[in-house]
Amino acid sequence: MASALLTIVKKIIRKGSLKITRASGETHILGDGSGDLVAVRLADQEAEEAIGRDPTLKLGEMFMEGRFILEQGNIYDFLALVKQNTTNEIFDFRMAALLIGRIAWQQLKSRFPVNRNKHNVAHHYDLSAKLFDLFLDQDWQYSCAYFEPAGITLDEAQLAKKRHIAAKLLLEPGQRILEIGSGWGGMGMYLAEATERSDFTGITLSEEQLKVSRDRAAKRGLADRVRFELQDYRTLTGRKFDRIVSVGMFEHVGIGNYRNFFRKVSDLLEDNGVMVLHSIGRPKPSFATNAFIEKYIFPGGYIPSVGEVTPALEKAGLLVKDVEILPMHYAYTLRHWRERFVARKEEAVALYDERFFRMWEFYLAGSEIGFRWDELFIFQIQLSKNQFAVPDNRSYIAAGEARLKEFEATRAPLEKVTF
């Protein structure tokens, strides 16, 4: 019987070595024999047919359910082999129809008047804190690290990320600082401790992150000037801030809400204020999120191109003062996370189960593939409302980082996060 999956794979795999064993037991060797062999097996006919109909969603689902089995190599190896061979998309009318439907539905959802932000955040960030402890750095930074210089450790790279962003914020004593999407509090504590007499507010929609953040700030004696609140940015009123930072949160705003996001930033930012926005970006619009990621990992999320972002911030009256692209740093970060996570598989399975472990392994592997092969990147956009709020050259960033390194040398060590 003809197999849609086998037809697709035969069209794609020209280089490398892939062994695929169908549910019937029939085996095919594909590629030119170069590189390490990747061997996969389909556990049943239904799984094979499902992946053939809708590989974008069903490959991840069948791997998650243990029905797409790696017998040699791992899921990253398989995805990398496919991506290295995919110079042109394989057109299929059924897949095109699925994609158009998903684009239409995600575009519509992003414009719904019902606020599902808290529900979407809870789906991911209110998972057990012990899960994130399996693979994050000591400060629990769940966003792209900055591997500058190359070859540093994950902990060093996450510290370098905080330092780089802090330097761009042009911190001064006594400033009021807002973080939109404050995670587990690491960035906020760093900014507050690096700046004398500063007043920091971090807002989140994750109740688990809120508890951990408040506990950490209290233990470091920062509760008097570092506050974390369960708060949607859209309903934050009555306050103005000298500095605003948002790291890894903009991907959850939704393409239909960019204008409202930047209008709110403009309302909250002082006339001489500065904001740094750190987000995943893509080289051109995609209009929809990967089906597996949307369903299982980040519902409601969307990765924009820079061109999709700038019209909304310009209409809000904000000035772009600096744009920096970090093209491969998230691939390096995700490699660290995935290797750490897989190394602690038994603990992850004990927290949830095998299915959950494979779901997250697929998510981490697929995300790394996106940055290595699909040209995803990180962009950092520095914004202000005043032409003179930022210096007219970039030398201040290196100078600021040098001062921050002096602060780090005297900073009290971070305590291990407790649950």
What is the pairing mode between strands 27-31 and 17-21? antiparallel
Gyration radius from the chain CA atoms: 23
Number of Cβ atoms within 10 Å of the Cβ of 133: 17
Q: Where are the domains of the chain?
A: 4-90, 117-410
pLDDT at residue 86 in the model? 84
Higher pLDDT, 263 or 86: 263
362-372: average pLDDT = 96
Question: Residue 220: which of 201, 244, 198, 192 has the closest Cα?
Answer: 192
- DSSP label at residue 305: B
234-239: average pLDDT = 94
Whether residue 149 is preceded by a cis peptide bond, meaning omega within 30 degrees of 0, is: yes
Share of the chain above pLDDT 70, in %: 90
Question: What does the DSSP assignment read for 117-139?
Answer: HHHHHHHHHTS-HHHHHTTS-TT
pLDDT at residue 1 in the model? 44
Residues 214-225: pLDDT tens digits?
999 999 999 999
- Could you check whether 4-90 and 117-410 share the same CATH topology? no
Residue that has been written with the tokens 């809870």 in this structure: 122
Write down the mean pLDDT value for the chain.
Answer: 91
In terms of C-beta distances under 8 Å and separation of at least 24 residues, what long-range contacts does 71-76 make, across chains too?
A: 71/19, 71/21, 71/39, 71/40, 71/41, 72/19, 72/37, 72/38, 72/39, 73/36, 73/37, 73/38, 73/39, 74/342, 74/361, 74/365, 75/361, 75/362, 75/365, 76/338, 76/365, 76/368, 76/369
pLDDT at residue 320 in the model? 98
Strand order in the sheet with 27-31: 27-31, 17-21, 37-42, 68-72
237-245: average pLDDT = 96
Task: Report which residue type is found at 64.
Answer: M
Query: Which CATH number is 4-90's, of 2.60.40, 3.30.200, 3.40.710, 3.30.1050?
Result: 3.30.1050
Which CA distances in Å does 319 have to 129, 181, 276, 330? 38, 22, 12, 27
Residues 38-71: pLDDT tens digits?
999 999 999 999 999 899 999 999 999 999 999 9
Q: Is the pTM of this model over 0.85?
A: yes
pLDDT at residue 114 in the model? 45
Question: Residue 107: which of 342, 308, 279 has the closest Cα?
Answer: 308
181-210: average pLDDT = 96
Euclidean distance between CA atoms 358 and 66, whole angstroms: 8
Residues 64-92: pLDDT tens digits?
999 999 999 999 999 999 999 985 454 45
The CATH code of domain 117-410 reads 3.40.50.150
Strand order in the sheet with 241-247: 226-230, 199-204, 176-180, 241-247, 269-281, 377-384, 319-326
pLDDT at residue 127 in the model? 86
Residues 292-350: pLDDT tens digits?
998 999 888 889 999 999 999 999 999 999 999 999 999 999 999 999 999 999 999 99
Task: Report which residue type is found at 128.
Answer: S
Structure tokens at 125: 């960030």
pLDDT at residue 128 in the model? 87
Dihedral (CA of 206, 209, 213, 215) sign: positive
Higher pLDDT, 294 or 279: 279
Residues 120-165: pLDDT tens digits?
766 787 788 899 999 999 999 999 999 999 999 999 999 999 999 9
Number of Cβ atoms within 10 Å of the Cβ of 113: 4
274-279: average pLDDT = 98
388-416: average pLDDT = 96
